[in-house]
Amino acid sequence: MRPFDKSFLTPTCPAQREVGNILKVTQLSKSFTGLSVFKNLNLEVPNGVFCALIGPSGCGKSTFFDVLMGVLPMDSGEISWGGRSVNDLKHIAAYMQQKDLLLPWFSLEENALLPAKILKGQKKDGRKAVRDLFARFGLSGFENYLPHQVSGGMRQRAALVRTLTFDRELVLLDEPLSALDALTRSILQEELLNLQLEFGKTVLMITHDVEEALLLADDVVILSSSPMRLLERIHITSAKPRRPSDPEIGRYKEIVLSELKRELTVAQ
Amino acid sequence: MRNRSAALVPLCAFLIVWEVGCRLFNVQPFILPPPSRVLAVSFLQAPTLFSHAMTTAAEILLGLALALAVAVPLAISMFYHKVVERALSPLLVASQAIPVFALAPLLVVWLGYGVASKVVMAAVIIFFPIAVSLLEGFKNCDKDYELLFNLMDATFWQKLRLLHWPWALPSFFAGLKMAVAVATIGAVIGEWVGAQKGLGYLMIQMNARLRADMVFASILWLTVIGMGLWGLVGLLENKVLYWKKEG
C-alpha cells in the first residue's frame, strides 16, 4: 500500500530542462572492506537544477560526495559532465562542507580570496568579485574581521562566498547550514536560493532537513540507508521563492516524510 | 597581574627563611651567603657579571638560531616525507637518551674553548623540543582543511605557507618556550667544561676562590637571562598568534 498518490510525482528530469551541462552518475558503487555503502547508483542532474539529497543520517551521502569529488576512489561506475566522462568532479565542482573551514589566521576577505590565490587560471580581479559578493551577502564592512570575531552565520556566508569564487558551474553542498541556528538558517536558505536563481548554478545539496530541501530544491531525491539507494525522486513544481506555510509545500513534506518513515520501518 | 604577584608570596617567604637562617645560625658566607649579600654583589659586581652574561646570552641566542636552522627544515621534511620520518625519528629519540653533559668535553675538544662549542651544546639541547613540537603541530592539522587545499590543487609550498605552518605555530611556540627555558643549561655546561668567558666560567672561577656570593650572583643573572628570553618568546607569540581566540 502506497501512503500517497503516485501520480502527484512528475517524471524525473523533464526533457525541456536538458540543456547545457548535465551531471550524470551511472552505476556508481563504493564499499568499505566488503561493506557496500552504495551500489549501482544512478543520478542525473540537469543544468541549472537545484537537487537536494535527503536521507537518514549515516546512509552514505557524504561518502557519495567524497567519491564524486575524487577524495575517495570509486569501486566502479561512471561520472560524466556535459556528456564527457570524468574521473571525478575535482576540477568541475565547488565543494562546501558543513564546517566553514575558514582559516583562523586570515580575515574573511583573505579567506574568500584563497581560491583566487591558489587555483590556476583564476581571474585576476578576484578582490573586486569578492567585495561584490560580500556586499551581496551582507558582509560589507566585515572584510578585515577574523573568523572568530564574527557570528557563525557570517562565517558560513564567508565560506559560501569562497565556494562561489571557485567559479564553477556545479556546486556540491554537504549540509551547509545544519550547524546554524534556525533564524540564521532561514536567512541563508533565502540567500542560497537567490544565488542559484541569479547565477544559474547547478546545485547538489545534502541535507537532512526536509523543509530546507522543499524550499530550495527543484528535485528532491530520497535516499535509503545501507546500502544507499535512490528511493524516490520528486520534482517540486511550486514557484520560487516558496514559504514553509505554502499548502503545496506541506503536501510535499508529508510525501517525503512518509517515504522516509517507510524506509526506516523497512530497515528495522 | 594578580596572578603574577601571587608568585611573589612563596618567593619572599623562601628568601626570608634563608636570610634569617643564615644570620641566626651564623653560616659562613663562603658556604651559604644570605640573599641580601647575593643581591648586593649582583649590583656591585654588575660590570663584571654583565660582560660574562653577554657572552652566555650570545651563546644561547646563537644556539637557538642554529637549532632553528636545523629543526625547522627537518620537521618540514619529516612531515612531508614519511620515509624521512621513519628513518630519523628513532635517531631523534635516541639522541635525547644520550646525556648531553657527556658530549660537552668532546665538543670542547672538537670546537675549542671559544663560543662555538657552547653554541653547539645549547643547540643540541634546544633542537629536540623545537623539532618535535613543530612536527606534532603539522600533524595535528585538520584533515578537512587539507582536503580543501587538495581540491584546489595547492602546491607543497602553498600548503606549507598558507595552512600547515600557521597551523603548527601554537605548538611550535610551546616547544620554543620549553627550549629557551633549558637553553641556559647547555651554554653553562659548555662553559664549565672549558671556556674563557661566560657566567658558567665565572661560577667555576669564583667557586674555586670560595666566593659563593659571586656564584649565586651568577645564577641570579642566568635566571634573569632565562626569564628574559621566555618573556621575549611570549611577546613574539602574542604578536604572531594574533588570530588565537582570546581566553
Task: State pLDDT tens for residues B236-245.
Answer: 999 999 888 6
Say which of B144, B158, B166 has its CB closest to residue A105. B166
Given a cut of 60, whether residue A174 has pLDDT beyond it is yes
| Dihedral Cα A197, A198, A202, A208, nearest 10 deg | -50
Nearest-CA distance A204 → chain B (Å) = 17
A148 contacts chain B (CB < 8 A) = yes
Q: pLDDT over 90 for what percent of chain A?
A: 16
Lowest mean pLDDT among A121-125, A135-139, B91-95: A121-125
Q: pLDDT over 70 for what percent of chain A?
A: 90
| Distance, CA of B79 to CA of B82 (rounded, Å) | 7
Helix axes B46-80, B165-193, angle to 10 degrees: 140
| Distance, CA of B125 to CA of B107 (rounded, Å) | 13
Given a cut of 70, whether residue A263 has pLDDT beyond it is yes
CA dist list (Å): A90 to A67, A93, B143: 10, 6, 17
A176 contacts chain B (CB < 8 A) = no
Say which of A101, A117, A148 has its CB closest to residue B148. A101
Sign of the torsion angle spanned by Cα atoms A152, A157, A163, A165: negative
Helix (H, G, I), strand (E, B) or coil at A53: strand
Tell me how far apart the terminal alpha carbons of chain A are, to the nearest angstrom. Answer: 18
Q: What is the mean pLDDT of residues B25-46?
A: 92
Q: What is the pLDDT of residue A14?
A: 41
Given a cut of 80, whether residue B131 has pLDDT beyond it is yes
Kindly list the domain boundaries of chain A, sorted by start residue: 1-8+21-92+170-268, 106-167
Q: Are B136 and B171 in contact (CB under 8 A)?
A: yes
Asked whether the beta carbons of residue B152 and residue A119 sit closer than 8 angstroms, the reply is yes
Q: What is the pLDDT of residue A121?
A: 64
What would the pLDDT profile of A16-40 be if each residue is shown by its tens digit? Answer: 344 578 898 888 888 888 888 888 8
Q: What is the mean pLDDT of residues A238-262?
A: 85
Task: Provide residues of B within 8 Å CB-CB of chain A.
Answer: 144-145, 147-154, 158, 162-163, 166, 242-245
Among A52, A51, A45, smallest CA distance to A19 is for A45
Closest Cα in chain A to B158: A118
Residues of chain A found within 8 Å of residue B147, distances taken between Cβ atoms = 71
Q: What is the mean pLDDT of residues B96-113?
A: 85
- Read off φ and ψ for residue A2, nearest 5 degrees: -85, 135
Q: What is the pLDDT of residue A9?
A: 42
Q: What is the pLDDT of residue A16?
A: 37
Say which of B145, B162, B243 has its CB closest to residue A146. B243
Q: What is the pLDDT of residue A183?
A: 81
Given a cut of 90, whether residue B187 has pLDDT beyond it is no
Closest Cα in chain B to A119: B152
Nearest-CA distance A118 → chain B (Å) = 6
Say which of A69, A118, A146 has its CB closest to residue B154. A118
Asked whether the beta carbons of residue B162 and residue A114 sit closer than 8 angstroms, the reply is yes
Say which of B144, B149, B243 has its CB closest to residue A104. B243
Q: What is the pLDDT of residue B62?
A: 95
A99 contacts chain B (CB < 8 A) = yes
Given a cut of 50, whether residue B114 has pLDDT beyond it is yes
Q: What is the pLDDT of residue B39?
A: 93
Query: Which position has the grid cell 551581496?
Result: A136
Cell numbers describing residue A87: 574521473
Q: Give the angle B194-B197-B200 at the CA atoms, nearest 5°.
A: 65
Q: pLDDT over 90 for what percent of chain B?
A: 60
Q: What is the pLDDT of residue A116?
A: 84
Q: What is the pLDDT of residue B138?
A: 94
Asked whether the beta carbons of residue B166 and residue A101 sit closer than 8 angstroms, the reply is no
Is the omega angle on the peptide bond into residue A11 within 30 degrees of 0, that is, cis?
Answer: no
Q: Are A21 and A169 in contact (CB under 8 A)?
A: yes
How far out from the chain centre does Cα A19 lie? Answer: 20
Tell me how far apart the terminal alpha carbons of chain B are, to the nearest angstrom. Answer: 15
Lowest mean pLDDT among A110-124, B32-46, B184-198, B208-222: A110-124
What would the pLDDT profile of B209-221 be if each residue is shown by its tens digit? Answer: 999 999 999 999 9
Helix (H, G, I), strand (E, B) or coil at B210: coil
Domain A1-8+21-92+170-268 CATH assignment equals 1.10.3720.10: no
State the DSSP H helix or E strand holding residue A95, giving kind and residue range, or none if neither: strand A93-96
Nearest-CA distance A71 → chain B (Å) = 8
Q: Output the average pLDDT for chain A.
A: 83
Query: Which position has the grid cell 656570593?
Result: B213
